[in-house]
Structures are given as structure tokens and as C-alpha cells.
Amino acid sequence: MKKYGFVRVGASVPKLVVADCTYNQEQIVQEMIKAEREEVGILTFPELSLTGYTCGDLFFQRDLLTDVLEQLKEILNASEKLELITILGMPLSIDNQLFNCALVIQKGKILGVVPKTYIPNYNEFYEQRWFSSSLDLMKKEVEILGQTVPIGTDLIFRDLDYSEISFGIEICEDLWSVLPPSQDLALNGAHLLFNLSSSNELIGKYQYRRSLVSNQSSKLIAGYVYTSSGVFESSSDVVFSGHALISENWAILTESKRFQFDSEMLIADIDVFKLHTLRMKDISYMGIHPSKPCREIMVHVPDSSTLRRDYERFPFVPHDLTKRTERCHEIFQIQACGLAKRLHHIHCEKTVIGISGGLDSTLAFLVIVEAYKKLGISTKNIVAITMPGFGTTKRTLDNALKLMKAYDVEVREIPIVEASLLHMKDIGHDPKVYDVAYENIQARERTQILMDVANEVGGIVVGTGDLSELALGWCTYNGDHMSMYAVNNSIPKTLVKYLVRFVADSDEKVKDILYDILDTPISPELLLPTEEGEIEQKTEDKIGPYELHDFFLYHFFRYGASLDKILFLATKTFEPDYQEEEIKQWLKVFIKRFFSQQFKRNCLPDGPKVGTVSLSPRGDLRMPSDASVRSWLKNLN
């Protein structure tokens, strides 16, 4: 999975006996073996996991410190048979000082040592009684069990095969400080950050800790792996819960159950390539330079043979119903406020919109109605026009008329068949030839009507096209492609459905109409219907399923994923509904159209950005219209 940027990480909370290094070593080795079976590449343990965090003044005992090294040797011996990288917490005596350290080990070797920087000495903490800060360290190398090992907070461990796969380490309080070491580590290129912690439980601390980890991973655009001591630490004054978290750029991928009386291990696959792309896109990320350079240690991060992670089929649509409802409300308000501001600015109360009885025009119409509510303008100022053509069915025409009448707008029905036939006669086009010209004549005739009516009433035309259509160029240049303000430009087709459903569920007077529109096949209705009067021309039969295209668009544009990675993720996500070859076929359609249709996106009308993906040339996408797609297609052959 490394070739796609995935690194399997683990956070272990092992059973523990305070000050019994032999027992703790045995538990740690068991967890290492378990992690190896699970194909974990990098495994971390809690702070001072070899001794226990709560040893107190026992840290000064020579017998304990001697035993620590003896048991470390046993762990190193056990690691010789394993591939994974292990991050272990233990005390180390160096130059008349004791340091709270993280040791990185692999295959019998100690790769590096990272000491703790911020030593808490407040409330229930008094670590300064035993430990010195990394700031007091006088060496850059240390001798441990006959090995000369780099030591310091400036260590970044980088994979030999993929340079983006790199990690750094901080310890417990370091994260809670004003300037955590992870900040410098991230600015120096570490995409993965590991925190060995011993954080006791207090009322409300769990939520704060969770937020801290999530926010740090977001601020640093990193993967953050956090694990803390469990319930077997001393409970003389405080209780530990074994809280572990794995976060990726704010999102919590997995989280432990707290207060468990057995060892627990979290495992997750972090997408390092995605993090790398996001950092490059966020030009302000390197707005502050690291306070010091880091030393790089080249390592071999083990690979995994499978992906232990699921992806949403509809990445633009929250799976959780509550979150989805909140998201729909927010998006609807963004669209409506964008339009309302435009109308307010130009002192205009008239809008003109074409209503087809399909999803996109329905959503745009509902947005206009909401904008009028905000401005206190009567809906009678909305000029809604339905323009039946060659392919219009009774179902869509009836739904268009019902919807317009339900909101008490000015309704106009202007058939375009005769005007389209006249135009075909003027240019010498056979009306029996159902080609692109036949279809686009109708689209441009409709746009001409809308523009002319807008001039007539002193209003603006509101566009209806969505983000998915723009990505594929599935719109007629200077036809439905054009308007004075386009409210759906950053709404993908899969999300359009949920937004319409959101309004349907909140407005009884149009619920039945909207649900029938939702059940209607997606079609431009430019070709003749069947003999039974049903829609013959179905968009997804021609260009592919929108659920696939929206998935492609999200991962391609948001994260810069390679096409072979997108194919891999889509095949895993959409099985068994689509086979790999079918997905590959539609992915080729997507990427070819995305490149060839850029000229349409380069002259889009204004419209509000809603989500993290927008194709406006004034917003998120600066792309030449004549770029070659060859480099991308090579990844699919």
C-alpha cells in the first residue's frame, strides 16, 4: 500500500506492572508480535512504558535503571525477527541527568532517541523531580548497549522508498505546550507524528485531549498517533485510562475504549500522499520557517498488503443523517445568501429561470425562493419558464408546472419545437439527424429565451448547472453553460439530490412534487422519448454513473490522487456494484472530458463556492484549456 501513500500505524496500550520491567517487556514484545501479524509499519507505546510512568522516586534506583537496559536488550533481540518499527518509552541516564525518552527500534537496532522537552511540574505533576528537559541535553549521540545512537528532538525518520513517508516524535506534555516540537518536525517534513503519553483522567479532560490531538493533526496537516498509559499505572493519587487516538488532518480515524483491563491496540492506515498534497496546496503552510533544521535518519517502513480503511461512496455527502441535515441547511443558506447579495447589489427584484422538471433546475429554483424570503421580495417577481422541446415528457413538464405554481411565481410556458425546427432549416440541418447540433440547438434556444426575457423584465438569469456537469463538460457552450449568476456551480450531482430531499422533507406543500423529481431519471431530454412517453435519453448511460464521477472528482481534485490510486480506492469502495474494468472505463471518460472541457470552465459565470472543491477559474482552478492528458492516462494502462 506504500505505493499509494498508505502507512499502517499502531498505538498500543499494553498491560503493565509498575516498576516490573521484565513483565512490561514481555507485554510489549507480545504487542509487537501482534502488530507484525497485522502488518503494522510503525507501532508506538505509551510514555515510560518499560517501567511505568508512576514509579516516582524509584526512577533514582540503580537496580531499576539497570533492569531497564537489560529488558531493552530482550526487546531488541525479539525485534530481530520482526519487520516493524517500534517506538518505546523508557528512562535513560545520560551525563549525570535522567531523561524521559522515546526509543525508535527495528530489527535489533536502535535507530534514534527522542527525549521529552517540556517537563510538567504543576498540579498533580512533578516530573522535574526526576527528569531533565531535552534543552539540557549536551550530546547529539549516545551510547546504548554498545550502539552509537543519534539523540535529540530534531530527528526525522524517513522511508528509503518513498520520501514523503516520514515521522517525528514528541512526548506527552510536549503537545500541550505553546510551541510543541511537532511544529518544527512538521515544518521540516514529517508527515506522521507520534506521541507517547501518560495523561491521567479528570472530568472533561478526555474531550479536551481528543480535541487537542485532532486540532494538532489539522494545524500541521499530519497524521497524529497518540497513546497514553492504561489503568495499571499506580492509582495512589490519579487514574489513567489508556486513551489512544489516531488522527489524520483533523479526522479521528480510530479511538480506543478507555478504562480497559487488558492490552489494547489501535491500527489505522494513514494516507501520507494526501497529506503531502494538502501541504503543497496550502501555500501559507510554510509561512513560518522551522526554528531549527532536523537530522534525517533513513529507515525502511514495512509495507502492508491490504488497505485497512473504508471510503465513503458519496464523499460530498455526510453519511450521518444529523450531519447531513446540518450540511444541507448550511449549503442552502450559502447559495441563497450569495444570490440575495447579488440581487441587493444590483438593485434587482426580477430573476428568470428555466424549469425543466429535473434536479438541477429544481434546486436552483428553490434557492431563488429562499433568497427572496431573505430579501422580503414577493415570489411573483420570479419569472419561471418551462420550455418543452422534442424530448420533453409529460412527467417532467407536469412537475415543472406544479412546482412553479406551488410557490406562486410568474409561470410561462414557451415551447421551443417550432423555433428549433426553423433554425435547423436556416442552417440546413436535417431534423432527423439526432446529433450534437440537434441537441445543442435546443439548449441554446432555451438560453436565448431566458436572456431575452431577462432583458424584457429587467432581471437576471439564474443558472442551474452543477459541479459534476462542469467537471465533465456536460453542458452546451453558450447554452445552459451561461447565465448571469450560477447558484449550483459548486454542488456535485450526488449532493444536489440530498439538497432537494432536504427541502422536500421540510416543506409539505411541495414534498410529493420534489420526491417525484428525485425519482425521475437524469436527462437533458433533448432526444425523442419512447413510444410510451418515457425518457429515452439517460445521461448516465452516456457518460457514466454520477456516483463514480463525483468520487473521481473528489479524490482527483481535492487530494491530487493519481489515477491508479483512484481506481484502486473506487474498486474497493464500490464493489460488488461495479467491477474494476467498468470503473476504469468511466475513469478514462472522466479524465479525458475533464481535460478537454476546460475551455467551458474558463468562462464560467459568477456563483458561490460551497465546499472544498470548486472549478471556478476565479476560485480553485487555474488550468490551461489545451493541457495534455497523456501523463494521467499512462497510469491506467
Please give the residue range of the domain that contains residue 213.
2-299
Instruction: For residue 47, indicate whether it is catalytic.
Output: yes
Contacts of 356 (CB under 8 A, 6+ apart): 386, 387, 392, 396, 400, 525
Question: Is 255 within 8 Å of 245 (Cβ atoms)?
Answer: yes
> Could you tell me if 152 and 84 lie in one domain?
yes
pLDDT at 287: 86
For residue 481, the model assigns a pLDDT of 94
585 and 473 within one domain: yes
Structural domain tally of the chain? 2
My answer on whether 90 and 150 are in the same domain is: yes
Helix axes 546-553, 580-596, angle to 10 degrees: 60
Q: What is the pLDDT of residue 265?
A: 98
What gap in Å lies between CA 566 and CA 451, rounded to an integer? Answer: 40
Give dist(CA 609, CA 616) in Å, integer.
8
Calpha distance 595→320 (Å, rounded): 34
Q: Look at residue 248 in the predicted model and tell me its pLDDT.
A: 98
Mean pLDDT of 241-267: 96
In terms of domains, do 156 and 234 share one?
Answer: yes
Q: Which three cell numbers stand for residue 307?
A: 488497505
Cα of 161 vs its chain's centroid, Å: 25
pLDDT at 637 over 80: no
Q: What secondary structure does DSSP assign to 57-119, as a single string?
A: GGGG-HHHHHHHHHHHHHHHHHHTT--SEEEEEEEEEETTEEEEEEEEEETTEEEEEEE----
Q: What torsion do the CA atoms of 33, 34, 37, 38 make, to the nearest 10 degrees?
A: -140
| 637 contacts 367 by C-beta, under 8 angstroms | no
Per-residue pLDDT reduced to its tens digit, 167-207: 999 999 999 999 999 999 999 999 999 999 999 999 999 99
Nearest alpha-carbon partner for 384 in 287, 474, 450: 450
Q: Which CATH number fits the domain that encloses residue 631?
A: 3.40.50.620
Segment 362-403, tens digit of pLDDT: 999 999 999 999 999 999 999 999 999 999 999 999 999 999
**282 and 334 in a common domain:** no
Please give the helix or strand (H or E) that residue 635 lies within, else none: none
- 520-549: pLDDT as tens digits: 999 888 888 888 888 888 889 999 999 999
Q: Does residue 38 lie in a domain region? A: yes
- Asked whether residue 160 falls in the same domain as residue 290, the answer is yes
In a domain, residue 308? The reply is: no
* Its pTM surpasses 0.85: yes
Distance between first and last Cα of the chain: 19
pLDDT in tens, 46-55: 999 999 999 9
Instruction: Give the pLDDT of residue 529.
Output: 86
Give SS3 for 476. Answer: coil
In sequence order, the β-bridge partners of residue 254 are 246
pLDDT score of 319 more than 80: yes
Position 609 scores a pLDDT of 95
Question: For the domain that residue 130 is a member of, what is the CATH number?
Answer: 3.60.110.10
Band (252; pLDDT cuts 50, 70, 90): very high
In this structure, is residue 309 part of a structural domain?
no
Respond yes or no: is residue 255 known to be catalytic.
no
DSSP string, 521-586: PP----S---TTS-----HHHHH--HHHHHHHHIIIIIH---HHHHHHHHHHHHTTTS-HHHHHHH
- Confidence grade of residue 410 (pLDDT, cut at 50, 70, 90): very high
Cell of 365: 429554483
Whether 116 is catalytic is yes
561 closest CA partner among 632, 467, 629, 470: 632
Asked whether 98 and 130 are in contact (CB, 8 A), the reply is yes
244 and 387, same domain (yes or no): no
DSSP-derived secondary structure for 286-333: GGS--SS--EEEEE-PPP-SS------SSTTS-SSHHHHHHHHHHHHH
Residues 133 and 6 reside in one and the same domain: yes
Residue in this structure with the C-alpha cell 469502495, named with its chain if needed: 573
253 shares a domain with 140:
yes
Question: For residues 403 and 524, is the Cβ–Cβ distance under 8 A?
Answer: no
Residues 469 and 424 in one domain: yes
Among 264, 299, 334, give the residue marking a domain's end: 299
341 lies in the same domain as 226: no
Kindly write down the DSSP assignment for every residue of 219-275, as one continuous string.
HTTSEEEEEE--TTS--SS--B---EEEEETTEEEEEPPSS-SS-EEEEEEEEHHHH
pLDDT band at 58 (very low <50, low <70, confident <90, very high): very high
Residue of 21, 55, 101, 172 with catalytic role: 172
Calpha distance 279→220 (Å, rounded): 9
Average pLDDT over residues 310-325: 94
CB 117 within 8 A of CB 174: yes
- Which residue has cell 521540516? 188
Phi, psi of 312 (to 5 degrees): -70, 135
Q: Helix, strand or coil for residue 486?
A: strand
In a domain, 312, yes or no: no
DSSP state of 27: H
Q: What is the pLDDT of residue 636?
A: 84
Q: Give the dihedral sign, CA 133/135/137/142.
A: positive
| In-domain check, residue 305 | no
- Tens of pLDDT, residue by residue over 61-103, are 999 999 999 999 999 999 999 999 999 999 999 999 999 999 9
Given the residues 116, 493, 584, 600, the one annotated as active site? 116
Which residue has 497523456 as its cell numbers? 630
Task: Examine the pLDDT at 5 and tell me if it is beyond 90.
Answer: yes
* 8 and 136 within one domain: yes
- Residue 200 carries which side chain, given as an amino acid letter? N
